[in-house]
Chain A
Amino acid sequence: MDILIASLLTIITAATPLVYASIGEMITEKSGVLNLGVEGMMLLGAVCGFATVHFTGSEALAIGAGMAAGAGLSFIFAILVLGFQSSQVATGLALTIFGIGLSALLGQELVGIAYDGLPKLAIPLLSEIPVLGPLLFNHDILVYGSIVLVVFVVWFLNHTRSGLILRAVGNSHDAAHAIGYPVLRIRFLAILFGGAMSGLAGAYLSLAYSPLWIENMSAGRGWIALALVVFATWRPWRVMIGAYLFGGITILQLHMQAQGVGVPSQVMSMLPYIATIVVLVLISRDRSKIKLNAPACIGKPFHPTS
């Protein structure tokens, strides 16, 4: 029983960074911008978060630093894509390459340093409930935060005027511009939000999931987050379900490696990546479903001339 609870708990920690990164990317994409730099922003968030907690000892500052790092990198992206009209695909790739390089440079002194990890916040009384208590009410702050984030985003998109405007800008920037909405400013904010969430996801990796810094420690999670957005057809609840599904696969293969099921560990490690491909294929094969749900302006540049 304890083993089961323990593995369910690790699924939650594996899923949490994916929730943050893909919810952030989903908001960016809702505004009509595709940012392929999630992996780079996550890595920078991870190294900045870890460095901050190492040098200051403050978890709050570390979380803030992770978000700021991601947002900072996405700021460059926003300037290039919105201001300089550069290709979103190329700029996103540049962001990832730059993020990998910069995080490795910043983190070279941090390799091999240990840290205890974010403290668990047990909710009084509720966490005492057998089974459910430890499963649901004894987590670090960012796990609770990820749930709050999803609830907030659902409410924001469907029940606020700002959310409606965000969706409208992604659906037709020309129409939004004609009515008088500041398309570029809205996209700018959406990109920064996406960047901050990616940075936070990275910080979660280095502060909680495996509390240390290794080069390239995100290991493709940024790209998996991008795939999750497609998988979820741009809906927040499905993003969350997808993230937990992938958390589950990641942990499952780790456990199977540990149990030594007779399959080489490398084959098990391939599972999350292969699962991503399978999932992507299953969702994308229905073209009209993608077309109906995807923000229509995604990837298209906007230059307000008239």
Chain B
Amino acid sequence: MTKSFPGVLANEKVNLTVQQGEVHALLGENGAGKSTLVKMIYGILRADSGEIRWQGNVVDIHSPAFARSLGIAMVFQHFSLFDSLTVFENIVLGMDVRDTSNLRDEIGEISTRYGLPLDPDRHVYTLSVGERQRIEIIRCLLQHPKLLVMDEPTSVLTPQEVEKLFETLQRLSSEGMSILYISHKLDEIKALCQRATILRGGKVVDCVDIESETASSLATKMMGEELAASSPKQPNTHGELRLEVNDLNLDAEDEFGIPLRHIQLQAKAGEILGIAGVAGNGQDELLSAISGESVSGDNASVVINGLESGKLGPNQRRMLGLASIPEERLGHGAVPGMTLESNGFLTAFRRLGLLSHGFIQSRASRDFAKTVIDRFDVKANGEQATASSLSGGNLQKFIVGREISQNPELLVVSQPTWGVDAGAAQTIHEALRDLATNGTAVVVISQDTDELMKISDRLGAICGGVVSPFYPTSSLGIEQVGLLMAGASIDASVSGDAHVV
């Protein structure tokens, strides 16, 4: 199958076969073409050429409804749920049958059988991400599918939730259901799948039996080269205190937000402090409380470089040496329709003096944007390219570069490599590491636990707007990070009686 978009060949002559009852992995880096392929299988996109055979017959899957009628169901990476509707209404919307009289009973039956507890009358916006995923799965199972497609299902789950999901999936596969499991996480695939088709740059690289592969041989096929060994961590001589958050409390702006409660953290010059957590647990709120986008009533709750600044705005905090990078690139970290020159000016104008008596110094702004583009190898059509025309990875390099080039003494960054290709992720990790080595305190908020295990010196987690204590990363295993992400205390887990919520 081949599919092209303007400027990209997303899938080139891709072959994929899934047997009955197998858990088949579709493995590849971000941007390898996995999502495009499954969207064609589910009838959301149509192939430019190629064919799909279903149980031996050529089929033209022209719509998701038709895919469902064949017995194909899909759980999306970004859930297709409706926040303001109830769980039950969401399930009804995903069903093609019109008779909903027995639906409630069926939902109850499936949720007990596969260990997916849910209250059908709750509104979706009140649910956690894991619970939302359950809706999607139940919605699929109600149609008794023969093939279940799961697009990166674990990227939003805690390790414990992942374990539960795997139990459900193994149970389904033992009942004869085929599962197409899309991921770039090798350990998951090792644990769950029998075979894997590996995509790279829109082409199939190989189709392998998982049994006969090791994690590193899979990684090599996925990345195309041996993973550059991550540079050994420098032992950090932690310097002076750059950021102190003391008992920070911040009410949510509305029902959809998360209130922050009793946040306590410190970041010192030269270290990378990691904050793990599942999406939607207050990461955005924490970042804006530190960056100054949300102002706290208590001036002492945020101390930057020794100065109480809880009531200061973003630019006053920047002048104290703070730089911040929000999760959302387009629309938050950068203005989509503006040029890179303007987007460079956006946060640098005060610290770098790009302003004179209220007038924009355009020569200096242009030079600054050019410097960032050169130094961080941003692939863009010059500094006059609009932010929205850049790929995610290049825009992120520009944003990270913009903040680092201002020589901050403290950098707070959320999801630095989310949705970014491997090359850009590497560049960004190195840049953060270098920054810390040169004496900046770096706080990284991320959902990617692997990333945090790799780059952070000390690690904690945020759950429900509460931040855990921090521990040296080297002393933590993935299991314990999972407990932190679930809001449990790991001081207790040593004695073995931890209660996972």
Q: Which residues of A contact B (CB under 8 A)?
A: 161, 164-165, 167-168, 171-172, 174-176, 178-181, 287-288, 291-292, 296, 306
**B83 proximal to A (CB < 8 A):** yes
Write the nearest CB–CB distance from B215 to chain A, whole angstroms: 32
Among B79, B93, B253, the residue within 8 A (CB) of A164 is B93
Write the nearest CB–CB distance from A249 to chain B, whole angstroms: 31
User: In the assembled complex, which residues on chain B have CB atoms less than 8 Å from the CB atom of A172?
Assistant: 80-83
Q: Judge whether B255 and A292 touch: CB under 8 Å.
A: yes
Interface SS of B by simple majority: loop
Q: Judge whether B254 and A171 touch: CB under 8 Å.
A: no
Q: Judge whether A306 and B39 touch: CB under 8 Å.
A: yes
Q: Judge whether A179 and B94 touch: CB under 8 Å.
A: yes
- CA–CA, A171 and B85, complex, Å: 8
Q: Judge whether B80 and A164 touch: CB under 8 Å.
A: no
Q: A171-B83, A171-B84, A172-B82 are in contact. List 5 more A-B contacts (CB 8 A).
A: A175-B82, A180-B64, A287-B253, A288-B253, A306-B39
User: In the assembled complex, which residues on chain A have CB atoms less than 8 Å from the CB atom of B108?
Assistant: none
User: In the assembled complex, which residues on chain A have CB atoms less than 8 Å from the CB atom of B80?
Assistant: 172, 174-176, 178-179
Interface residues of B in 422-462 (CB under 8 A from A): none
Least CB separation from B45: chain A residue = A306
- CA–CA, A172 and B94, complex, Å: 14
Among A168, A178, A287, the residue within 8 A (CB) of B76 is A178
**B43 proximal to A (CB < 8 A):** yes
Q: Which residues of B contact A (CB under 8 A)?
A: 39, 43-45, 63-65, 68, 76, 78-85, 89, 92-94, 98, 253-256
- CA–CA, A184 and B21, complex, Å: 38
Write the nearest CB–CB distance from A219 to chain B, whole angstroms: 35
User: Given A178-B64, A180-B63: A168 and B82 within 8 A (CB)?
Assistant: yes
Least CB separation from B84: chain A residue = A171
- CA–CA, A86 and B82, complex, Å: 25
User: In the assembled complex, which residues on chain A have CB atoms less than 8 Å from the CB atom of B45?
Assistant: 306
User: In the assembled complex, which residues on chain A have CB atoms less than 8 Å from the CB atom of B256?
Assistant: 291
- CA–CA, A168 and B84, complex, Å: 8
Least CB separation from B79: chain A residue = A175
Among A181, A287, A288, A296, the residue within 8 A (CB) of B83 is A296
User: Given A171-B82, A172-B83, A291-B255: A164 and B76 within 8 A (CB)?
Assistant: no
User: In the assembled complex, which residues on chain A have CB atoms less than 8 Å from the CB atom of B93?
Assistant: 164-165, 168, 176, 179, 181
- CA–CA, A168 and B81, complex, Å: 9
- CA–CA, A180 and B139, complex, Å: 14
- CA–CA, A161 and B81, complex, Å: 16
User: Given A164-B92, A165-B93: A179 and B64 within 8 A (CB)?
Assistant: yes
Write the nearest CB–CB distance from A250 to chain B, whole angstroms: 33
Q: Judge whether A306 and B83 touch: CB under 8 Å.
A: no
Write the nearest CB–CB distance from B425 to chain A, whole angstroms: 24
User: Given A164-B89, A178-B44, A180-B43: A296 and B84 within 8 A (CB)?
Assistant: yes
Q: Judge whether B84 and A288 touch: CB under 8 Å.
A: no
Q: Judge whether B84 and A292 touch: CB under 8 Å.
A: yes
Least CB separation from A169: chain B residue = B82
- In the complex, which of the residues B84, B85, B98 has the most CB atoms of chain A within 10 Å of its own CB atom? B84
Least CB separation from A293: chain B residue = B84
Write the nearest CB–CB distance from A306 to chain B, whole angstroms: 6
User: Given A164-B92, A178-B64, A179-B93: A288 and B255 within 8 A (CB)?
Assistant: yes
Q: Judge whether A291 and B82 touch: CB under 8 Å.
A: no
User: In the assembled complex, which residues on chain A have CB atoms less than 8 Å from the CB atom of B82?
Assistant: 167-168, 171-172, 175-176
User: In the assembled complex, which residues on chain B have CB atoms less than 8 Å from the CB atom of A167?
Assistant: 82, 84-85
Q: Judge whether A161 and B92 touch: CB under 8 Å.
A: yes
User: In the assembled complex, which residues on chain A have CB atoms less than 8 Å from the CB atom of B81?
Assistant: 172, 175
Write the nearest CB–CB distance from B103 to chain A, whole angstroms: 12
User: In the assembled complex, which residues on chain B have CB atoms less than 8 Å from the CB atom of A287?
Assistant: 253-254
Among B64, B76, B98, B255, the residue within 8 A (CB) of A161 is B98
Write the nearest CB–CB distance from A24 to chain B, whole angstroms: 21
Q: Judge whether B85 and A168 touch: CB under 8 Å.
A: yes
- CA–CA, A291 and B85, complex, Å: 14
Listed A/B pairs (9) with beta-carbon separation below 8 Å: A168-B93, A171-B83, A172-B81, A176-B82, A180-B64, A287-B254, A291-B256, A292-B84, A306-B45
